[in-house]
Amino acid sequence: MTKGGGVPRALLLSALWIATTAHVGSPDAWFEGKAGPYQVLALVRMPTVVPGVATVRVHVVDGPVDRVTALITRYDASTALPPPDVAKKVDGETDTYQTTLWVMAGGSNGVTIFVQGSRGSGSVLVPVMAVASGRLPLGPGLGALLVTLGVVLFAGAVTIIGTAVRESVLPPGETPDGKRRMRALLAMGGSAALFLAILGAGWFWWSSVDAAQRDRQYRPLASTTGISGAPGAPELRFAITDSTWLMRGDQMWLRRHNANAWSGLIPDHGKLMHLFLVRSDDAGGFAHLHPATTDSVAFTTALPPLASGEYRVYGDIVHESGFTETLVSTIRVGAARTSPWTPADSDDAWRGAPPSSTDPDPLGGGLEMRWLRDSTPLIAGRPASLRFSLVKPDGSAAAIEPYMGLPGHAVIARDDGSVFVHLHPSGTISMASQQVFLLRAQGDTAPGAVAKAIAAAAPMAMPSGALPSVVSFPYAFPKAGTYHVWVQLRTPNGIQTGAFEVRVQPQ
């Protein structure tokens, strides 16, 4: 398999290619929503190798319930359905259940959670991505133990062979002569050489297998970002340059390169791609764009008047299989545009000010965005309190309208670019991916049927009166460090983008 882009770019982006499902460096899948009559908060921790074991943790918000079970299936139902595993109640937790599931097939999978209680039964499907994103480490203690045992076995085998040649056929009490001792030394030398050759062959085989495993580890499709158009009215062009994507329709090429064909793209929240730009040095520039495409290779849109500098670029896409990816790239923005910026999409938005290190964040026009959390520090790996509200000058809640069918959107990025995630109030999952599984369950398995059904469906409608005044996002920061959090809410006057800088403490 070949990748587009040069070696320097690959080295530049290698730090971004961290264990990922749909997002960079944020492998856990979070979901908050309804399982029938029950409100649940679910966390699925996927393994870094396939086959591997996933951990499913379910908190029933309006519990208690009688029983929680879970099972995992591949999107195309190519394997028989296993019986669901019973989740056991977590000691010391209230209405929280946990179980483990074997993940046997890579690619797009779905974890179905079943809840039974006094109000009946319900279920919900959480789409997850099963990819080989790492190697299981060999601890130094275990490594030292294995080396010691190997040396003992090697020395013992050579000694046994030498002793057998020297003394095995001697009568009791007779001393070996010089000839027998020489034979024993030759036998020991020959056996040692043979064992070393076997160990060398084994080391060569293991290194080959390890190299093949590293080569098979998941990386997002290679991509590039460029700027074209008039100097005062620049246009952003994001292109997927990966050979496996460009040649996805050539079965002969795929067979020659031992590659699988990618399925086409489907819209998520009505958009084929959600493209994000984050200024690298101080996060002082941010954009959430939705570029257009005619070939699913090159995506173009009008570049907002962002300040000059280096930007990290993240492109969220969803395949017809339900597999979600975040493509990564970089771009240098030169002089800001001089002509007025007209959004190519009505849901495009940007922010030029750096994230606020204090709360609330003033947005202009008297509006403030508030992060509703106490003084409790944020700890890596623990559920974070991500609750936000938009407040008018008089202190009352501002009216919020649906933004791409949801109460709001959030983006979280670590300052070094090693973590990036696009959040919704329902969690980290893609709703389009969830739709894929639901449509497959209804029998829409013909090629292109899922893509056509999702493309034809209108974006989810949500009346303004049903929107809460506080918007929350389920998530846990995967590791310690400095993070930037952007929250986007729509008001009658447009899209408001609040931004905060926060420090996450280690566990």
C-alpha distances in Å from residue 129, one per residue of 1, 82, 153: 21, 18, 43
Tell me which fold the domain 28-130 belongs to. Answer: Immunoglobulin-like (2.60.40)
Evaluate the CA torsion angle 73, 135, 422, 467 in order and state its sign: positive
Q: What is the pLDDT of residue 298?
A: 97
Q: Which residues, in sequence order, are bridge partners of residue 486?
A: 411, 499
Q: What is the CA radius of gyration of the chain?
A: 28
Scanning the structure block, which residue is given the tokens 């029938």?
Answer: 36
Neighbours of 297 (CB within 10 A): 14
Alpha carbons 400 and 232: distance in angstroms, whole number: 34
Alpha carbons 389 and 468: distance in angstroms, whole number: 9
496 closest CA partner among 385, 376, 399: 399
Contacts of 353 (CB under 8 A, 6+ apart): 284, 499
Q: What is the pLDDT of residue 457?
A: 57
Give me the chain's average pLDDT, please. Answer: 87
Alpha carbons 329 and 16: distance in angstroms, whole number: 9
Q: Contact 125/438 with Cβ under 8 angstroms?
A: yes
Q: Contact 402/464 with Cβ under 8 angstroms?
A: yes
488 closest CA partner among 204, 237, 209, 290: 290
Q: What is the pLDDT of residue 215?
A: 75
pTM, rounded to two decimals: 0.84
Alpha carbons 485 and 475: distance in angstroms, whole number: 12
Q: Using 70 as the pLDDT threshold, list the residues of the chain that sit under it.
A: 1-22, 76-80, 336, 444-466
Alpha carbons 300 and 378: distance in angstroms, whole number: 38
**Geometric angle at alpha carbon 41, from 49 and 77, rounded to 5°:** 50
What totals of helices (H) and strands (E) does the chain contain, helices first? 7, 27
Q: What is the pLDDT of residue 48?
A: 87
C-alpha distances in Å from residue 221, one per residue of 12, 120, 134, 277: 15, 44, 17, 18
- Residue 255's H or E segment, with its range, is helix 251-256
Scanning the structure block, which residue is given the tokens 């595993």?
Answer: 85
Cis check: omega of the bond before 340, within 30 degrees of 0: no
**Geometric angle at alpha carbon 418, from 416 and 419, rounded to 5°:** 110
Look at residue 367 and give its three-state secondary structure. Answer: strand
